[in-house]
Amino acid sequence: MIKGKFVEHILAGKKRSTIRLGCVIPRYKEVFIHGGGRPVAKAMITSVVYKRVCQLTEEDAYRDGYSSVEELLKDLKKVYNRKIAPSDVVTIIEFEVIKNLLDLSMQDIYMGLSPADIASLAYRYLEKELSEDELRIIDAVIKHGSIREASLKLYGSLNKRWIIRKTLRNCLRILIEKGIIGNAVKE
């Protein structure tokens, strides 16, 4: 989760990294960046570097949206609610935005998102609203990465892909209606 004040900087390409306290190992190469309580971008992690706090440079702070290491450390102290020691390890995660989720196009049936992207967002934001069948479908799309593979695993054939497509379109509709994605949808 990114502070709301950094969303514009991320989408403009000015903020290209995030610094986290401790040794963080990202689970995925592509991630959703959340800010202001909603997903704002899909990004590709380009680099993960571990440093001690005393090794942080002004460039590290600048890439994370801060004007100085001092300002960065002040914010880290507030976020983690503890004193930051020079020997503490931090993780610098560099990323590149590959999809702005506030600027989606209606030209594509899935608004330019992959089925797995829609499934991941639905699972995170709509889990309590979806039926058991819908959750099973969403889970299969996340796990197998495609409608085709999910259909084969769930139904043993490709003939019922329409059920998965219908579920994904419904999830996308709800995500839009709730204002979770597509702030400024282009026609």
The domain ranges of the chain are 4-100, 115-177
State the pLDDT at residue 129.
92
Dump pLDDT digits (tens) for 33-55: 988 788 989 999 999 999 999 99
What's the rounded mean pLDDT across residues 114-128?
94
Give the tokens for residue 36.
Answer: 């202001």
State the pLDDT at residue 2.
67
Q: How far is CA 59 from CA 18, 65, 152, 172, in A?
A: 12, 10, 49, 39
Domain 4-100, classified CATH 3.10.400.10, yes or no = yes
* Residue 3 pLDDT level (bands cut at 50, 70, 90): low
Dump pLDDT digits (tens) for 141-172: 999 999 999 999 999 999 999 999 999 999 99
Alpha-carbon span 147 to 138, nearest angstrom: 10
Dump pLDDT digits (tens) for 168-186: 999 999 998 998 887 543 3
In terms of phi and psi (left: phi > 0; alpha: psi -120 to 50; beta: otherwise), the region of 81 is: left
Q: Roughly how many angstroms between the first and final C-alpha of the chain, as a whole number?
A: 29
pTM to 2 decimal places: 0.78
